[in-house]
Amino acid sequence: MSLFAALASVVFGAMSKDTTRDRVIYGLKVFAEFMVIGLILGWILYFIP
Amino acid sequence: MEDDLVKTERLQLADEVEPTPGSAWLIGLAAWFVPGLGHLLLRRWWRALLMGGAVWVCFFVGMAMGGHLFDLYAEGSSVLLQIPPMIANVGTGILYGVSWMFDYGFRDDPAQAARATYEYGNTFLLIAGLLNYLNMLDAFDVAAGRKP
């Protein structure tokens, strides 16, 4: 999941925004969102039989 | 009256839009065919490395995990169900083509499907293609002068 989040956020970050700084920030934000949402969904599905 | 003005403005804007250069289509095609090549041709070295590299890594990680590539041949399931994942897989361009030529990664092997990483591998292979479609669109936009 971490690798997937990293690869996807690299592409999303690189193709968005105008400055390098904004791209890095956006990439990190997307990475964090992937991780947090993945963990939340993982725990929700863990309790669903 | 106001609607007419809006329509006229739109027509004027449509006339002012510059036509897409033919090279942009070729760059887009190259970006799809070899992940990263489009940005390399545009001399966007970092983008080529990061965006193209992400696709290559995604594809080989997916293969290493025992993922399965989709084509129109389906054993026991509808061909129509194969089309959406196949479209995603085809996004990897030459990587899909070479795998198809050598028939590597297409067969439904029960031992392979039993691996714990099988579905993860499938997902990585699908995502590799979809990310490359984004790369292709980005390279096209840069080549057409719509993006810096």
Domain spans of chain B?
Answer: 43-148
Facing A4 at nearest CB: one of B47, B50, B127:
B127
Query: Domain span at residue A16?
Result: 2-47
Q: Do residues B21 and B9 lie in contact, with contact meaning Cβ atoms separated by under 8 Å? A: no
- Please state the pTM of the whole predicted model: 0.84
CA neighbor of B138 nearest in space, from A24, A15, A17, A12: A15
* Number of domains making up chain A: 1
Would you write out chain B's pLDDT as a tens digit for each of its 148 residues? 555 556 666 666 656 667 888 889 999 999 999 999 999 999 999 999 999 999 999 999 999 998 889 888 777 678 888 899 999 999 999 999 999 999 888 887 788 788 888 889 999 999 999 999 999 999 999 999 888 7
Contact flag A15-B51 (C-beta cutoff 8 Å): yes
Please list every residue in chain A whose beta carbon sits closer than 8 Å to the beta carbon of residue B46.
14
- Smallest Cβ–Cβ distance between A8 and the set B47, B131, B135 belongs to B131
Give buried/exposed letters for B29-61 (b at 16+ CB in 10 A, else e): bbbbbbbbbbbbbbebeebbebbbebbbbbbeb
Q: B57 contacts in A (CB within 8 Å)?
A: 7
